[in-house]
């Protein structure tokens, strides 16, 4: 009978270790906000009463947060398709407000994340609010964005590859455009 108890004991230990590993992996995902991707002293969009424009910043928004390098993060924002076929999106830019890059000035690179989903993401509309979970890699990337009036080259400061993407109801730290903005119809 001893061997049977030993097997049950070993099985219980393995299950406990696996349970700890799963909870430990979940605990290591850092839930971050857009402010975490820029230097603490850099002005935020609300300070200027309109979204940040990279050209206004001394470093053009190219200063990245290296403290998050290779960390598993979760960030909510708005998805703007870069590579899509029908309603399936293979790559998109995650931006902090609706209208960024196509309808209004581009945010600085440290406020744009180039996302490659682990599986094609079925998107119902541009600027769909989503949450992205994956490993954050700082580094400048350029993407070609096809918009109504032509092609635009957008520089992102971060990438998340093999990302898990989920639709969300709200983006907690979204930038709301000022009432007098001609783009305020984009506020969701």
CATH number of the structural domain spanning residue 116: 2.40.50.870
Where does the pLDDT of residue 8 fall: very low under 50, low under 70, confident under 90, or very high at 90 and above? very low
Span 60-66, mean pLDDT?
Answer: 83
- Scanning the structure block, which residue is given the tokens 């609010």? 129
Q: What is the pLDDT of residue 174?
A: 74
CA distances from 113 to 15, 39, 42 (A): 37, 16, 18
Q: What is the pLDDT of residue 91?
A: 97
pLDDT in tens, 68-102: 999 999 999 999 999 999 999 999 999 998 877 76
Where does the pLDDT of residue 177 fall: very low under 50, low under 70, confident under 90, or very high at 90 and above? low
Distance CA 55, CA 100 (A): 15
20 lies in the same domain as 69: no
Q: Which region among 22-26, 63-67, 153-157, 170-174 has the lowest average model confidence (pLDDT)?
A: 22-26
Distance CA 146, CA 16 (A): 50
pLDDT in tens, 115-174: 999 999 999 888 899 999 999 999 999 998 877 667 888 999 999 999 999 999 999 877
- Scanning the structure block, which residue is given the tokens 């954050």? 136
Q: Whole-structure pTM over 0.95, yes or no?
A: no
Distance CA 93, CA 157 (A): 11
Q: Which region among 15-29, 36-50, 62-76 has the lowest average model confidence (pLDDT)?
A: 15-29
pLDDT(13) > 50: no
99 lies in the same domain as 163: yes
74 lies in the same domain as 109: yes
73 lies in the same domain as 3: no
- Scanning the structure block, which residue is given the tokens 């909510």? 76
92 lies in the same domain as 13: no
Distance CA 107, CA 57 (A): 11
Residues 48 and 56: beta-carbon distance below 8 Å: yes
Strands (E), 55-127: 72-85, 88-95, 113-117, 121-122
65 versus 15: the higher-pLDDT residue is 65
Q: What is the pLDDT of residue 54?
A: 61
133 lies in the same domain as 41: yes
74 lies in the same domain as 137: yes
Residues 98 and 127: beta-carbon distance below 8 Å: yes
Residues 6+ apart with CB under 8 A from 42: 57, 61, 63, 110
Q: Tell me the Ramachandran region of residue 49: left when phi exceeds 0, alpha when psi lies from -120 to 50, beta otherwise.
A: left
Q: What is the pLDDT of residue 55?
A: 58
Q: What is the pLDDT of residue 41?
A: 73
Domain with 13, as residue range(s), is: 1-29
Instruction: Name the residue among 46, 32, 64, 51 with its Cα closest to residue 156.
Output: 64
């Amino acid at each position: 009978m001893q061997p049977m108890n030993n097997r049950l004991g070993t099985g219980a230990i393995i299950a406990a270790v696996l349970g700890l590993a799963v909870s430990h992996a979940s605990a290591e995902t850092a839930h971050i906000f857009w402010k975490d991707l820029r230097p603490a002293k850099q002005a935020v969009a609300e300070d200027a009463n309109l979204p940040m424009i990279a050209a206004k910043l001394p470093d053009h928004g190219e200063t990245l947060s290296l403290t998050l390098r290779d960390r598993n993060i979760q960030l909510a924002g708005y998805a703007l398709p870069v590579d899509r076929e029908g309603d399936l999106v293979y790559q998109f830019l995650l931006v902090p407000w609706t209208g960024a890059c196509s309808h209004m000035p581009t945010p600085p690179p440290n406020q744009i994340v180039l996302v490659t989903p682990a599986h094609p993401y079925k998107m119902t509309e541009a600027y769909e609010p989503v949450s992205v979970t994956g490993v954050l890699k700082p580094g400048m990337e350029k993407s070609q964005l096809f918009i109504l009036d032509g092609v635009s080259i957008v520089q992102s400061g971060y990438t998340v590859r093999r990302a898990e993407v989920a639709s969300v109801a709200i983006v907690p730290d979204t930038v709301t455009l000022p009432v007098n903005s001609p783009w305020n119809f984009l506020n969701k």
